Structure 1
Amino acid sequence: MPLSRFIFLLAFLSLGLPISAQARETAPVGIATFNMAWAGTIDDFIRHVEVCSVPEVNWCNSRIRTPRGTQRAAPEEEIRTRRCREATMVAAGGFEAMMMTAPCNAYGKRKHPARAETVENYNAKLSGLRATVENLIQNENIKIIAFQEVKSREVIEQVLGDFAGQFDVCVAPHDAFQTLAFAWDKSISSVPSNASSCVPNPHLAIGEQFQGEPVGHRVRPGLALRLVINGAPVSFLNIHLKSGCANLKTGRGFAGHKLTDPDPACEILNRQVPIIEDWVEKVATETPRFVLFGDFNRRIDEEERAPVAISEVRTDGSDPAGSNTKDEWGGVKSSYLWQEIADGFPVMHQVPLTSTERGCTGLKGLDHIVISNAIWQSQSRELSSRRIAVVKTYRQSIVTSDHCPNITVLEL
């Protein structure tokens, strides 16, 4: 223990304060968030190929394509998408089965998907994921990983590779292929793993009703992990929010959007805002030390830099720290994600991204790490995060991931 800290502790003891009020020792803990791009087992992949190779499906794209700069797809595109989804639903054996199968465009856009999407090529993806995760653990000393776009516990254990026995795993139940998971080193928590709390937040899984479908597709839930580290609880909140409304500013061909714009993706993300805000506020009252990280699908760093007055955060001019009135669909007046959730109650800080490894060419600006003020104040050095390149082979047919892990080290 440094002499200065020892003297500091003696001063507290001389005042007769209880141990809980004294300065607490901290230790560095590496954390990472990693979107693994439709990661399932080999059996999951084989099922995907079985469905997509049916002649009536023929690897069609079930996602509706809306031209950039427009709010609605052309009528013929809506017809094409509906026919694709209907054929895929029949081939999969119903809506629920279709939702648990990776869509036909999940692993890349190709002229000849049947040639590229082989078990051998998918094994290359899994090998890349395993090598990437093993590198995080062995060389970057990562102890806690928040995963997005995973199917099951089984695939998490596979990508942990040689470290599977060293980590505990929990996965959020969901009625679609993509869900969230945590893996954490058993040595970092002072309580047994079965006493650790890992609880999903199903409310974030907002329903998206597609035209003509009997059941609405739901976006991803949230997942909270509570550990006791160095004698005090820490909560980790893993999120993967609605995609398609990422940019505040227009750039690189992508239109800029506020969350109150009349855009289908923004409308869904807007409905997630009060849910995540309530979730964070509740967790903050229970564990002042918390980390919110994952795939935000929103450039919150861009929002943070924007000169937004408090009166501009909501379209009605109300204070974002006040109550957030919902409409009949669960939408709110919030135009900005970061300014709404970081309204000072609680105080939160983005861990800035300061470097990106060479070869990290995945999606940028979507994966973030946010920490509570209690954690921010306990750091002895300036915080930063890094993007780590995924492991891949030359001309790999199915990419390891279109995201790179984002990592940081926190004193907890």
Structure 2
Amino acid sequence: MIRCLAACFFVLFGSAGALASQVTIATWNLGWHMDLETAQHWIEECSKNYVAGPATGKLKASQEAGFKPGWDINASKIEGWDVSRLPVCNVYFAAGSVRVNIEAYRKRQEQIANFISRSLPADIIAFQEVSGEQSVREVLPNGGVEYDFCPVTGYKVQRLVIAWKKTLGEKVSCAIEHALSLPANPDDKRPRPGLALTLKIDGKLLRIMDVHLKSSCVSPFDGGNLRGQPGTARSCNNRSTRSKAGLRARRPMEPRSFSSAISIATSGMSSATSDRPGPTPAELRRRGRRACYPALS
């Protein structure tokens, strides 16, 4: 099961001689989070039975002898499976792959929405592992009508979205950091891109870069093993170098127009090696430090 981290921190605008404006920023990895329409389609496809075709070995929907449910197979081996539209089927794990239904998924959304409305009063929330803007709107208060959005489009279904309250400030730019996806790599070896947002708040620039850090680079949560998976070190190092370069490039674009600029990097980190269920929102409030998606059991 994917592990998720959430954090909140504050940014102060203004000088010592004036009342500063306080901006609250949160980052949350929602773990394969989808909007309800996408989730419904995903459940329908994963609920089918599949067998391997004799010619290609690719899996096809079938009721022939020897079939396996989609929940128990690697969906990336299903013929025509598009990971830009749907996650693989076995993303939720509790003593075996969880057979998700739409009622359970809707309950999951309600739990996340309740936590955000009651316990996460942030001005800006940087999300990771979401299918897109609509999936974020569905868990924000009042369907997100009070928010603006900066989303990643394209790429695989685990995307980034930054949401901020419309009353906070004006959007200057929203840009996908394609270089962080290492475009020179083969498609199956490319990590996710970054997402850069610049806001003008009280006449000053606030820059946020949202990235998703995979723990295949290091995995300190599982027996202290820091080696990661074979072959990932070079990719992680390349991405780290590009991340630093991207942050350095995010300097004030209009230094004569704005008296100062603040740059912040937000990230979500996930570990694909742990099968322990994540805490519920109630447990999260008690811990106060970590946020993971509710298990769909």
What letter matches 2:245 in structure 1?
D
* Distance in 2 separating the partners of 1:21 and 1:85: 53
What letter matches 2:243 in structure 1?
I
* Distance in 1 separating the partners of 2:200 and 2:245: 23
* Distance in 1 separating the partners of 2:293 and 2:193: 28
* Distance in 1 separating the partners of 2:230 and 2:238: 12
CA contact (8 A) 1:134 1:163 kept: no
Which residue number corresponds to residue 126 of structure 1?
A: 109
Which residue number corresponds to residue 154 of structure 1?
A: 134
2:93 corresponds to which of 108, 114, 122:
108
- Rate the CA distance shift 1:24–1:222 in 2: closer, same or farther, 3 A: farther
* Distance in 1 separating the partners of 2:268 and 2:132: 18
Aligned structure 1 segments of 4 or more residues deviating by more than 6 angstroms: none
Following TM superposition, by how much is the alpha carbon of 1:25 offset from its aligned partner in structure 2, in angstroms? 4.3
Which residue number corresponds to residue 239 of structure 1?
A: 211
Q: Counterparts of 1:7-406 in structure 2 under 5 Å? A: 25-56=19-50, 58=69, 59-62=71-74, 85-86=76-77, 88=78, 90=79, 93-94=80-81, 97-111=82-96, 113-114=98-99, 117-137=100-120, 141-162=121-142, 164-189=144-169, 191=170, 195-206=171-182, 209=186, 215-216=187-188, 218-247=190-219, 252-257=222-227, 263-284=230-251, 286=253, 288-296=261-269, 359-360=283-284, 387=289, 397-398=296-297
CA contact (8 A) 2:204 2:261 kept: no
What letter matches 2:36 in structure 1?
I
Following TM superposition, by how much is the alpha carbon of 1:217 offset from its aligned partner in structure 2, in angstroms? 5.6
Following TM superposition, by how much is the alpha carbon of 1:296 offset from its aligned partner in structure 2, in angstroms? 4.5
Cα-to-partner distance string for 1:364-403 (whole Å, 9 max, x where unaligned): 9xxxxxxxxxxxxxxxxxxxxx5265696xxx535xxxxx
Unaligned runs of 5+ in 1: 1-19, 63-83, 210-214, 299-356, 365-385, 399-412
* Distance in 2 separating the partners of 1:26 and 1:163: 30
Which is strand-richer, 1 or 2?
A: 2
- Rate the CA distance shift 1:109–1:268 in 2: closer, same or farther, 3 A: farther
* Distance in 2 separating the partners of 1:275 and 1:38: 25
- Rate the CA distance shift 1:391–1:279 in 2: closer, same or farther, 3 A: closer
CA contact (8 A) 1:201 1:224 kept: yes
Cα-to-partner distance string for 1:34-61 (whole Å, 9 max, x where unaligned): 1111111222112222332332262235
Unaligned runs of 5+ in 2: 1-13, 51-67, 254-259, 272-280
* Distance in 1 separating the partners of 2:236 and 2:293: 31
* Distance in 1 separating the partners of 2:290 and 2:241: 32
CA contact (8 A) 2:174 2:196 kept: yes
- Rate the CA distance shift 1:55–1:391 in 2: closer, same or farther, 3 A: closer
3-state secondary structure, aligned to 1:255? coil
CA contact (8 A) 2:34 2:130 kept: yes
Following TM superposition, by how much is the alpha carbon of 1:202 offset from its aligned partner in structure 2, in angstroms? 1.3
Following TM superposition, by how much is the alpha carbon of 1:128 offset from its aligned partner in structure 2, in angstroms? 1.1
Following TM superposition, by how much is the alpha carbon of 1:219 offset from its aligned partner in structure 2, in angstroms? 2.3
Following TM superposition, by how much is the alpha carbon of 1:199 offset from its aligned partner in structure 2, in angstroms? 1.0
- Rate the CA distance shift 1:29–1:277 in 2: closer, same or farther, 3 A: same
Q: Which structure is larger by alpha-carbon Rg, 1 or 2?
A: 1
Say what the alpha-carbon RMSD is for the aligned residues: 3.2
3-state secondary structure, aligned to 2:49? coil
* Distance in 2 separating the partners of 1:142 and 1:110: 35
* Distance in 1 separating the partners of 2:76 and 2:15: 59
3-state secondary structure, aligned to 1:29? strand
Which is helix-richer, 1 or 2?
A: 1
% of aligned pairs identical?
22
What letter matches 2:296 in structure 1?
S
3-state secondary structure, aligned to 1:113? coil
CA contact (8 A) 1:246 1:297 kept: no
* Distance in 1 separating the partners of 2:230 and 2:252: 34
Give the total of aligned pairs: 249
